[in-house]
Amino acid sequence: MLTRRHFLAAAATLGLLAGAAMPNGAFAHEDLKVVASFSILGDMVREVAGNDVALTTLVGPDGDAHVYEPTPADVKAVAGADIVFVNGLAFEGWMPRLLEASGFKGKMVVVSDGITPREWDGEDEDHDHAHGTAEPAEAGHDHAHEHADAHDHGEFDPHAWQNLGNGIVYVGNIARALGEADPDHAAEYQAAGEAYAATLKSLDERIRAEIAAIPEARRKVVTSHDAFGYFGAAYGIEFIAPQGVSTEAEASAGDVAAIIEQIRAEKIPAVFVENITDPRLVEQIARETGAVVGGELYSDALSGPDGPAPTYVKMFEFNAAALTKALAGS
């Protein structure tokens, strides 16, 4: 079906517009140039915008946004963007310097605005773990091992997308921002956002029911790093992590020993690795406790298109199925 946007593009190609307005006063224009900071957010933007935007996602599938090093290509993408979507809550510690390096003049949208952020105990902040510089590498200047700023996620857990209720807030913020930047298609963005939000709400209800059927005493899981606090609070699972809220934190021997003791004392049934972390630490814990490695969870990044979690919805479905299977002992 030939849409209004396709008609305008075809007319421009044929030279019919010649700089003049169409009868309704509209001018042909290029798609919005949009940047999303990481793969989960990029998928959410695509669900709302469809193919009506030119979307660039900076940290791709299976990529770790905690330790990401922006590239010259990222600088170019951000410099030309109309909108940059970020998670906020200090998740993208490299983003401020990237925006500065690019000379970005568009609008930055923090999709977590409006949620109730989860405070966390900050135990891993006792470590002074460094954060890589966000200034892209240039010829003759190697940033691969340079650490300019102390890493600090602040007082709140940034992984808010791990609660589907928060995901619905994200979607509303995305649809609103796209509509403000492209008023001619605001109604389309709003309708797509509402349909997507309804899908997330239905999935949220289903996951709550599935996990509620598992005895509460069994709802304890060990994961690589503390990315599932929002999931645990929303759906009633206790997540225990040897690393802190960032993959840059390193678990101490004492932390690991305490978790091993807790697993044995409380008979925690399963441990999980994550797609963005080194699995060896969790595998060590499993060997020493006899806990079952329940598989891989997707925390801060989607899988590739051929993997089991190529979208935000599929990521949640996959994680929930893996958790319920392991905790139910089936």
pTM, to two decimals: 0.77
Mean pLDDT, the chain, whole residue set = 80
User: Which structure tokens are listed for 277?
Assistant: 């972390």
Q: What is the mean pLDDT of residues 11-33?
A: 47
What domains are there in the chain, each with its CATH number? Answer: 1-29 (no CATH), 212-328 (3.40.50.1980)
Farthest-apart Cα atoms in the chain, separation: 76
Query: pLDDT band at 288, cuts 50/70/90?
Result: confident
Computed on alpha carbons and rounded to an integer, the radius of gyration of the chain in Å comes to 22
How far, in Å, CA of 101 to CA of 263, rounded?
46
How far, in Å, CA of 190 to CA of 112, rounded?
18
User: Which structure tokens are listed for 129?
Assistant: 């773990």
Residue 147 scores a pLDDT above 50: no
